[in-house]
Amino acid sequence: MKSLILVGVLVMSVLRSFAGFAPASIAGLVYRDTLIHARTRASAEKTILFQSGTRFIYLKDGSGSALNLAFVFGIKLNAPRPDGAYVYTRTGENTAVVTLNFDGGGSETLNLDFTTAEGGDSGSGTGPDFSFSLWPIVAQEHLAAVNISTRARVEPGRPVIVGFIVPGVSIQSYPPPATNTFTPPAGLRQREVVIRAVGPSLAQFSVAGAWADPDFQLVAPEGSISGNNNVHYKNWAVLPVTPGQPEGAVDAASEAGFRKLFNYVGAFPLPTGSKDAAQVARLNPGAYTLVVSAPPGDAGGEVLIEVYFLP
What rounded mean pLDDT belongs to the chain?
81
Question: Does the pLDDT at position 171 exceed 90?
Answer: no
Which of 61-75, 77-91, 119-133 has the lowest average pLDDT?
Answer: 119-133
303-to-200, 215, 297 alpha-carbon distances in Å: 8, 9, 17
Question: Does the pLDDT at position 85 exceed 90?
Answer: yes
Question: Does the pLDDT at position 59 exceed 50?
Answer: yes
Question: Does the pLDDT at position 98 exceed 90?
Answer: yes
Which of 41-50, 217-226, 276-285 has the lowest average pLDDT?
Answer: 217-226
% of residues, the chain, pLDDT over 90? 52
> 259: alpha, beta or left, given left = phi > 0 and alpha = psi -120 to 50?
alpha
The residue-averaged pLDDT of 251-257 equals 94
- What does the DSSP 8-state code read for residue 285? S
Question: Does the pLDDT at position 201 exceed 90?
Answer: yes
- What is the pTM assigned to this prediction? 0.83
Q: Which CATH number fits domain 140-309: 2.60.120, 2.60.40, 3.90.550, 2.40.50?
A: 2.60.120
The residue-averaged pLDDT of 21-49 equals 87
**Tens digits of residue pLDDT in 101-144:** 999 999 999 999 998 888 887 654 444 467 899 988 865 444 55
Residue 8: pLDDT band with limits 50, 70, 90: very low
**Domain boundaries for CATH 2.60.120 within the chain:** 140-309
Q: In the Cβ-directed half-sphere of 285, how many Cα atoms lie within 13 Å?
A: 12
Query: What would you measure as the largest C-alpha separation in the chain, in angstroms?
Result: 90
The residue-averaged pLDDT of 209-224 equals 88
The most confident of 43-57, 64-78, 144-158, by mean pLDDT: 43-57
pLDDT value at position 175? Answer: 44
- What does the DSSP 8-state code read for residue 172? G
Strand ranges, E, within 170-300? 191-198, 217-219, 277-283, 286-292
Q: Residue 274 corresponds to which amino acid?
A: S
Strand ranges, E, within 66-208? 76-77, 84-90, 95-102, 107-116, 119-122, 130-136, 147-154, 160-166, 191-198
The residue-averaged pLDDT of 251-274 equals 95
pLDDT value at position 182? Answer: 44
pLDDT value at position 242? Answer: 58
Residue 185: pLDDT band with limits 50, 70, 90: low
**What are φ and ψ of residue 62, in 5° steps?**
-140, 160
**Tens digits of residue pLDDT in 282-299:** 888 888 999 999 999 999
Q: How many helices and strands (H and E) does the chain possess?
A: 2, 16
